Amino acid sequence: MVDNAGAVRYANNAALQLLGIREIIKPANFFDLVSINNDDCNYTLEKFRASQRIDNLYAILCNHTGGEFDIDLTMLKVRNDKSQERLVFVLRDDSARRQENERLSWEASHDPLTQLFNRRAFGQGLDKALAEAGQNKVATVMLLIDLDYFKPVNDKGGHLTGDKLLHRLADLLRQTVHQSDTVARLGGDEFGILLPSCNMERAEALAERIRAGIEALIVEHEGEDYSVTASIGLAQINPTDTSTKAIMARADEGSYLAKGRGRNQVVVVLVSGA
């Protein structure tokens, strides 16, 4: 509880921990002890006084000792016997709930094996790229990576060997692309990459680096070496595209043509055909 000037008049033990103090020896100003922010908005004494009541404000509380907490805040105004207005704050440490929500959100958008984005998240990125097609001077390019000879790795070396190879492949992809690019495991031995603001020349060069990097990957198991190659299809996202399905189909056609031409190569498919 604080008064109209912001002086803390009462705080229980849980509140004292959030405030970063052990006890209230003399009225300390609440807003000298902490700052409360939400979506770039700093909640000051004046802002709280201007409100009659605030319910379930999810914010970040930073105290004077450097402690930072995700909180769920409720504030209401009361008056004491002398009709002096008081602000009553109910502060709940919300860190555990937020961490759980972040974990669930991450799991919903990522592949658990490779830690890359999953097909659902990739689809959302593709939707966004299609919606923005034509707004940027340079288009977005999609890569579809279909591994060659991955099944024999699983069949002969076992699934743990296959998983190890996929881990190594995921690391290779992360290290090769830019932070602004989207890398996803679409399922099984199929991967997708979105390259925003990327001309086809750069996209082809990047795809070739990825192809060569995959070819050089070797996983050892019980004295035997296991490796794969990749057939990669490229498709540019154009303003004339009417659906993400058509874009995926072009990239998929590229990887299919690459396999038909002997595998371990990169094929670009234009809107008018290969």
The residues assigned a catalytic role are 189
* 8 A C-beta contact, residue 28 and residue 7: yes
Q: What gap in Å lies between CA 139 and CA 129, rounded to an integer?
A: 9
SS3 label, residue 2? strand
Q: Which residues contact 28 (CB under 8 A, 6 or more apart)?
A: 7, 8, 21
SS3 label, residue 16? helix
* 8 A C-beta contact, residue 183 and residue 177: yes
Q: What gap in Å lies between CA 240 and CA 178, rounded to an integer?
A: 26
Q: Is beta strand 219-221 parallel, antiparallel or unpaired with respect to 190-195?
A: unpaired
* 8 A C-beta contact, residue 204 and residue 234: yes
DSSP 255: H
